[in-house]
Amino acid sequence: MVTRYYRELLNFLARAVNNRDAAADLAQESYARVLALQQSGETIAEPRALLYRTARNLVIDQHRRVSVRGVAVDTDGDDADALDTLAAPAALEPETAAMSAQAVAAMLAVIGALPLRCREAFILHKFDGLPQAAVAQQMGISVTMVERHIKHALEACRRCQQQHGQAQAEGKSVP
């Protein structure tokens, strides 16, 4: 598993944190957590998905520490106790979290409803971080076609985001 996804995960994390060394640390921590779960006897149906979810959660935790404290926190030191006494950010309020979960679910539904080739090009480019030329080569289509697929997907996502934002402003729930 390590050799199979490491470079891909490292690139994902490097884009997320804009620091290659921090990305390497987060990748190592992600692997450690997933491997610990595997060794505990848990069956992992989708190791890549779990690895990315773990890495994403670690990035979120790091951003929270930075935004709450203003600096990165060393959880091995005395500052770890101080984390327990801090108030949760507004983003963790139940109503805000529910609206955020609805927005994510709506966006995933929009992406899932895209035509197959369009969805594939979009995911390869946006989530896997491949340049358009690499997507075109992998899919066996022209770069122009990849650009059209990505543009179509982005427009669908933008419409979804606008709908959700409008419904949120009106206090309505978006299915």
In whole angstroms, what is the distance from residue 156 CA to residue 162 CA?
10
For residues 77 and 97, state if they share a domain.
no
pLDDT confidence bin for 3, thresholds 50/70/90: low
* pTM of structure: 0.45
For residues 108 and 165, state if they share a domain.
yes
Domain count within the chain: 2
* Phi, psi (deg, nearest 5) at residue 106: -65, -40
Q: Tell me how crowded residue 109 is: count the other CB atoms within 10 A of its CB.
A: 11
pLDDT digits (tens, 9 = 90+) for 10-55: 888 888 888 888 888 888 888 888 888 888 877 778 888 888 888 8
Say yes or no to pLDDT of 154 above 90: yes
As given in the structure block, the two tokens for residue 89 are 């950010």
Say yes or no to pLDDT of 160 above 50: yes
In whole angstroms, what is the distance from residue 171 CA to residue 116 CA?
34
Q: What is the mean pLDDT of residues 80-98?
A: 53
Domain that includes residue 34, residue range: 2-83
Residue 175 within a domain: no
Residue 63 within a domain: yes
Beta-carbon contacts of 126 under 8 Å, excluding residues fewer than 6 positions away, are 150, 153
Say yes or no to pLDDT of 73 above 50: no
Torsion angle of alpha carbons 28, 5, 15, 36, nearest 10°? -30
